[in-house]
Amino acid sequence: MGHGKLKKFAENETFRCLLQPDASSVLAKPEGSKELILRDHDIKGHWNRDMFAKDQPIVVELGCGKGDYTIALARRHPEMNFIGVDIKGARLWKGAKEATEENMGNVAFLRTRIEFIDAFFGPGEISEIWLTFSDPQLRGSENSRLTSPLFLQRYHRFLKPNGIVHLKTDSRFLYEYTMSVIRENNLQVLAFGTDIYRDGVQTGYPSENRRFATPPISDGQKDTLPELPDLPAVFEVQTFYESMFLKMGLPITYVAFRLEHEGEGFKYPTDFDAAYWREAEGPRRSFSHQPSKQ
């Protein structure tokens, strides 16, 4: 391990805004069992009390990398608290250092595997989730995609009623997969676009297509519905990789939807043609590739 990483890891220990729990704090092996089970961390249900300067709605970014998006959103919305989650401590160092130096009381970071997320957030504790340029898992397990029914069920346990999930990605494969999951579960779309910097973002689905129509909202739900997302932020806040993808000429997609539905669990999509969209996406470009000079 390089000296630079060791220095970052040491400095991470000094950042109050960065929580780095040991795996042993959320994994337990019941007596007589050979399998580990997930157990709640002490922070679960207490983020506003223990990590933030004010008790405010909380937004989580999963797979936040260096924390650029988390920090930028927190600057735009001082009336909200933001948590960036990633497993890489060397990446989180940048965001945690910036938040510490600027004394940002509405920013925190969590170093953990996203598969352990249930252990850290209590029922109704989170208002919104951002998924920014997640691994599309083109050839991996469907359950590894962060918009799979497995993950949506996890999010549903800690999101507020009608909480919002945002997906912003350069992967048309992941975008179309997510749209299939949305259709299968009759979730309400708030905004979407397949090339947002060229064509902008539309709100809701076209009403003439019944299958894609926005589900009706009952009178009893109206008081709990959050307003439309901060759509200008979708364009004005960019990750490091997003800026790189734009220079390469790659279209950026976006969808925001409410994670509220009837019934037990979330259904897997039946109309997603993985082979077609995998082929349409082509080989994933390496981050080291440069845009063509034409």
DSSP 294: -
**Which residues neighbour 10 within 8 Å (Cβ) at sequence distance 6 or greater?**
none
Q: What residues act catalytically?
A: 135
In the chain, count of helices (H) and strands (E)? 11, 11
Alpha carbon distance 196, 101 (integer Å): 33
Q: How far apart are CA 187 and CA 162, in angstroms?
A: 10
Tokens of 5: 């990483």
CA-wise closest residue to 132 among 242, 229, 260: 242
Half-sphere exposure of 6 (CA within 13 A, CB side): 3
The answer to whether 123 and 157 have CB atoms below 8 angstroms apart is yes
Closest CA to 146 of 111, 179, 191, 178: 178
Tell me how far apart the alpha carbons of residues 237 and 70 are, in angstroms, rounded to a whole number.
9
